[in-house]
Amino acid sequence: DTEVTQTPKHLVMGMTNKKSLKCEQHMGHRAMYWYKQKAKKPPELMFVYSYEKLSINESVPSRFSPECPNSSLLNLHLHALQPEDSALYLCASSPTGTGGPFGELFFGEGSRLTVL
Amino acid sequence: AQRVTQPEKLLSVFKGAPVELKCNYSYSGSPELFWYVQYSRQRLQLLLRHISRESIKGFTADLNKGETSFHLKKPFAQEEDSAMYYCALSTGNTGKLIFGQGTTLQVKP
Protein backbone atom coordinates (compact mmCIF):
# COMPACT_ATOMS: atom_id res chain seq x y z
CA ASP A 1 0.00 0.00 0.00
CA THR A 2 1.70 3.19 -1.16
CA GLU A 3 -0.98 5.72 -0.37
CA VAL A 4 -2.15 7.98 2.37
CA THR A 5 -5.84 7.37 2.98
CA GLN A 6 -8.12 9.95 4.53
CA THR A 7 -11.67 9.54 5.79
CA PRO A 8 -14.22 10.91 5.45
CA LYS A 9 -13.86 12.57 2.05
CA HIS A 10 -16.58 15.08 2.91
CA LEU A 11 -17.87 16.24 6.28
CA VAL A 12 -20.55 18.77 7.15
CA MET A 13 -20.85 19.76 10.79
CA GLY A 14 -22.50 22.35 12.96
CA MET A 15 -20.60 24.65 15.26
CA THR A 16 -21.54 22.59 18.32
CA ASN A 17 -20.65 19.19 16.88
CA LYS A 18 -17.68 17.00 17.69
CA LYS A 19 -16.21 15.06 14.79
CA SER A 20 -12.90 13.50 13.77
CA LEU A 21 -10.86 13.24 10.62
CA LYS A 22 -8.78 10.12 10.14
CA CYS A 23 -5.60 9.44 8.21
CA GLU A 24 -3.79 6.18 7.64
CA GLN A 25 -0.56 5.14 5.93
CA HIS A 26 1.15 1.76 5.74
CA MET A 27 4.40 2.83 4.13
CA GLY A 28 6.36 2.77 7.38
CA HIS A 29 6.71 6.54 7.35
CA ARG A 30 7.76 8.09 10.64
CA ALA A 31 6.47 11.63 10.23
CA MET A 32 2.85 12.61 9.68
CA TYR A 33 1.28 15.99 9.07
CA TRP A 34 -1.97 17.90 9.02
CA TYR A 35 -2.34 20.75 6.56
CA LYS A 36 -5.24 23.08 5.92
CA GLN A 37 -5.94 24.28 2.40
CA LYS A 38 -8.39 26.98 1.40
CA ALA A 39 -9.56 27.27 -2.20
CA LYS A 40 -6.84 28.41 -4.61
CA LYS A 41 -4.36 28.78 -1.73
CA PRO A 42 -1.31 26.72 -0.78
CA PRO A 43 -1.47 24.20 2.03
CA GLU A 44 -0.81 25.67 5.47
CA LEU A 45 0.92 23.50 8.03
CA MET A 46 -1.03 22.79 11.21
CA PHE A 47 0.73 19.94 13.03
CA VAL A 48 3.70 17.61 12.62
CA TYR A 49 4.15 14.30 14.39
CA SER A 50 7.58 12.73 14.33
CA TYR A 51 7.93 9.19 15.71
CA GLU A 52 4.38 9.52 17.11
CA LYS A 53 5.24 12.62 19.14
CA LEU A 54 3.91 16.07 18.39
CA SER A 55 6.89 18.07 17.17
CA ILE A 56 5.24 21.13 15.62
CA ASN A 57 2.01 22.95 16.43
CA GLU A 58 1.68 26.02 14.25
CA SER A 59 -0.32 27.95 16.87
CA VAL A 60 -3.47 26.15 15.85
CA PRO A 61 -6.60 26.97 17.92
CA SER A 62 -7.45 24.36 20.54
CA ARG A 63 -10.70 23.51 18.79
CA PHE A 64 -8.43 21.37 16.58
CA SER A 65 -6.88 18.51 18.53
CA PRO A 66 -4.48 16.08 16.84
CA GLU A 67 -3.82 12.56 17.97
CA CYS A 68 -1.36 9.94 16.78
CA PRO A 69 -2.42 6.56 18.25
CA ASN A 70 0.35 4.66 16.44
CA SER A 71 2.85 5.08 13.65
CA SER A 72 0.25 4.40 10.94
CA LEU A 73 -2.65 6.51 12.17
CA LEU A 74 -3.27 10.20 12.61
CA ASN A 75 -6.50 11.77 13.77
CA LEU A 76 -7.73 15.33 13.92
CA HIS A 77 -10.48 15.89 16.47
CA LEU A 78 -12.77 18.81 15.77
CA HIS A 79 -14.93 20.60 18.33
CA ALA A 80 -16.78 23.92 18.34
CA LEU A 81 -15.49 24.91 14.93
CA GLN A 82 -16.31 28.16 13.18
CA PRO A 83 -17.56 28.62 9.61
CA GLU A 84 -14.16 30.05 8.66
CA ASP A 85 -12.65 26.65 9.48
CA SER A 86 -14.32 25.26 6.37
CA ALA A 87 -11.50 24.01 4.14
CA LEU A 88 -9.79 20.97 2.69
CA TYR A 89 -7.77 19.20 5.38
CA LEU A 90 -4.81 17.32 4.03
CA CYS A 91 -2.87 14.60 5.75
CA ALA A 92 0.64 13.78 4.62
CA SER A 93 3.45 11.49 5.63
CA SER A 94 7.18 11.40 4.99
CA PRO A 95 9.67 8.58 5.28
CA THR A 96 11.93 10.02 7.95
CA GLY A 97 11.42 11.54 11.34
CA THR A 98 13.57 14.11 13.09
CA GLY A 99 16.98 14.41 11.54
CA GLY A 100 16.04 13.34 8.06
CA PRO A 101 15.07 15.16 4.89
CA PHE A 102 11.44 16.15 5.37
CA GLY A 103 10.61 17.56 2.04
CA GLU A 104 9.27 14.49 0.27
CA LEU A 105 5.70 14.43 1.50
CA PHE A 106 3.06 11.95 0.40
CA PHE A 107 -0.37 13.53 0.54
CA GLY A 108 -3.81 12.10 0.97
CA GLU A 109 -6.72 13.31 -1.14
CA GLY A 110 -8.04 15.36 1.73
CA SER A 111 -11.20 15.69 3.78
CA ARG A 112 -13.41 18.56 2.68
CA LEU A 113 -14.94 20.11 5.77
CA THR A 114 -17.93 22.45 5.79
CA VAL A 115 -18.91 24.11 9.06
CA LEU A 116 -22.43 25.50 9.15
CA ALA B 1 12.29 35.23 7.39
CA GLN B 2 11.66 32.05 5.46
CA ARG B 3 9.58 32.68 2.40
CA VAL B 4 8.80 31.24 -1.03
CA THR B 5 7.61 33.54 -3.78
CA GLN B 6 5.95 32.48 -7.00
CA PRO B 7 5.27 35.72 -8.82
CA GLU B 8 2.84 34.37 -11.40
CA LYS B 9 -0.64 33.19 -10.41
CA LEU B 10 -1.37 32.01 -13.93
CA LEU B 11 0.90 31.06 -16.80
CA SER B 12 -0.77 30.30 -20.10
CA VAL B 13 1.19 28.86 -23.03
CA PHE B 14 0.48 26.98 -26.23
CA LYS B 15 1.33 23.32 -26.64
CA GLY B 16 4.93 22.91 -27.73
CA ALA B 17 6.08 26.23 -26.29
CA PRO B 18 8.77 26.42 -23.60
CA VAL B 19 7.64 26.87 -20.02
CA GLU B 20 9.35 28.50 -17.05
CA LEU B 21 7.60 28.71 -13.70
CA LYS B 22 9.44 31.08 -11.42
CA CYS B 23 10.27 30.48 -7.78
CA ASN B 24 12.37 32.61 -5.44
CA TYR B 25 13.10 31.83 -1.83
CA SER B 26 14.35 33.56 1.26
CA TYR B 27 16.22 31.42 3.77
CA SER B 28 19.47 32.03 5.63
CA GLY B 29 20.44 28.38 5.95
CA SER B 30 21.07 25.65 3.41
CA PRO B 31 17.75 25.17 1.59
CA GLU B 32 16.09 22.05 0.32
CA LEU B 33 13.74 22.96 -2.49
CA PHE B 34 10.97 21.06 -4.17
CA TRP B 35 8.30 21.37 -6.81
CA TYR B 36 4.91 19.84 -6.06
CA VAL B 37 2.14 19.47 -8.62
CA GLN B 38 -1.62 19.10 -8.28
CA TYR B 39 -3.45 17.91 -11.38
CA SER B 40 -7.21 18.43 -11.57
CA ARG B 41 -9.00 16.15 -9.09
CA GLN B 42 -5.76 14.47 -8.01
CA ARG B 43 -3.77 14.66 -4.84
CA LEU B 44 -0.83 16.94 -4.35
CA GLN B 45 2.33 15.07 -5.31
CA LEU B 46 6.06 15.63 -5.46
CA LEU B 47 7.34 16.48 -8.93
CA LEU B 48 11.02 16.92 -8.25
CA ARG B 49 13.58 17.94 -5.63
CA HIS B 50 16.73 19.92 -6.15
CA ILE B 51 19.11 17.44 -4.55
CA SER B 52 18.14 14.75 -7.05
CA ARG B 53 19.01 16.89 -10.07
CA GLU B 54 16.65 14.75 -12.10
CA SER B 55 14.23 15.36 -14.94
CA ILE B 56 10.66 14.27 -14.32
CA LYS B 57 8.07 14.38 -17.14
CA GLY B 58 10.52 16.58 -19.03
CA PHE B 59 10.71 19.15 -16.23
CA THR B 60 13.97 20.30 -14.69
CA ALA B 61 14.80 22.81 -11.99
CA ASP B 62 18.19 24.17 -10.98
CA LEU B 63 18.93 25.72 -7.63
CA ASN B 64 20.67 29.07 -8.06
CA LYS B 65 21.90 30.13 -4.63
CA GLY B 66 23.24 33.44 -5.92
CA GLU B 67 19.82 34.47 -7.21
CA THR B 68 17.95 32.44 -4.54
CA SER B 69 15.86 30.90 -7.28
CA PHE B 70 14.57 27.47 -8.21
CA HIS B 71 12.72 27.95 -11.46
CA LEU B 72 10.92 25.02 -13.11
CA LYS B 73 11.48 24.58 -16.83
CA LYS B 74 10.27 22.43 -19.67
CA PRO B 75 11.32 22.93 -23.28
CA PHE B 76 8.05 21.80 -24.88
CA ALA B 77 4.82 22.03 -22.92
CA GLN B 78 2.13 19.37 -23.28
CA GLU B 79 -1.59 19.75 -22.57
CA GLU B 80 -1.33 17.18 -19.79
CA ASP B 81 1.08 19.52 -17.97
CA SER B 82 -1.85 21.78 -17.12
CA ALA B 83 -2.00 21.85 -13.32
CA MET B 84 -1.24 23.86 -10.21
CA TYR B 85 2.46 23.95 -9.38
CA TYR B 86 3.81 24.76 -5.93
CA CYS B 87 7.40 25.53 -5.10
CA ALA B 88 8.28 24.49 -1.55
CA LEU B 89 11.14 25.05 0.88
CA SER B 90 12.17 22.63 3.60
CA THR B 91 13.93 24.33 6.48
CA GLY B 92 16.19 21.57 7.68
CA ASN B 93 15.10 18.77 9.96
CA THR B 94 12.18 20.54 11.61
CA GLY B 95 9.44 18.91 9.57
CA LYS B 96 8.29 22.24 8.20
CA LEU B 97 7.63 22.62 4.47
CA ILE B 98 6.82 26.14 3.32
CA PHE B 99 4.80 26.45 0.12
CA GLY B 100 4.70 29.30 -2.34
CA GLN B 101 1.33 30.66 -3.44
CA GLY B 102 1.28 28.41 -6.48
CA THR B 103 1.19 28.97 -10.24
CA THR B 104 -1.56 27.58 -12.43
CA LEU B 105 -0.09 26.37 -15.71
CA GLN B 106 -2.55 26.30 -18.57
CA VAL B 107 -1.35 24.66 -21.78
CA LYS B 108 -3.60 25.45 -24.71
CA PRO B 109 -3.90 23.17 -27.76
Contact A102 B96 (CB under 8 A): yes
Q: Residue B95: list chain A partners with CB under 8 A.
A: 31, 33, 48, 50, 55-56, 94, 98, 102
* pLDDT of A101: 53
Residue of A nearest to B83 (CA): A40
- Is the predicted pLDDT of residue B90 greater than 90, yes or no? no
pLDDT at B93: 65
Test the B interface: residue of A56, A104, A109, A111 with most B CBs within 10 Å: A104
Residue A8 pLDDT more than 90? Answer: yes
Q: What is the pLDDT of residue B1?
A: 78
3-state secondary structure A32-89: EEEEEECCCCCCEEEEEEECCEEEEECCCCCCEEEEEEECCEEEEEEECCCHHHCEEE
pLDDT in the model for residue B52? 75
pLDDT for A98:
46
Considering only the beta carbons, identify the residue of B45, B90, B101 that sits closest to A103: B90
pLDDT for A103 equals 60
State how far residue A82 is from chain B, nearest Cα, in angstroms.
24
Q: Could you read off the pLDDT of A9-64 as tens digits, one per residue?
A: 999 998 888 999 999 999 998 889 999 999 989 999 999 998 899 988 999 999 99
pLDDT at A96: 72
Q: Say whether pLDDT at B48 is over 60.
A: yes
Residues paired with B103 in a beta bridge: B85
What confidence score (pLDDT) does residue A40 get? Answer: 86
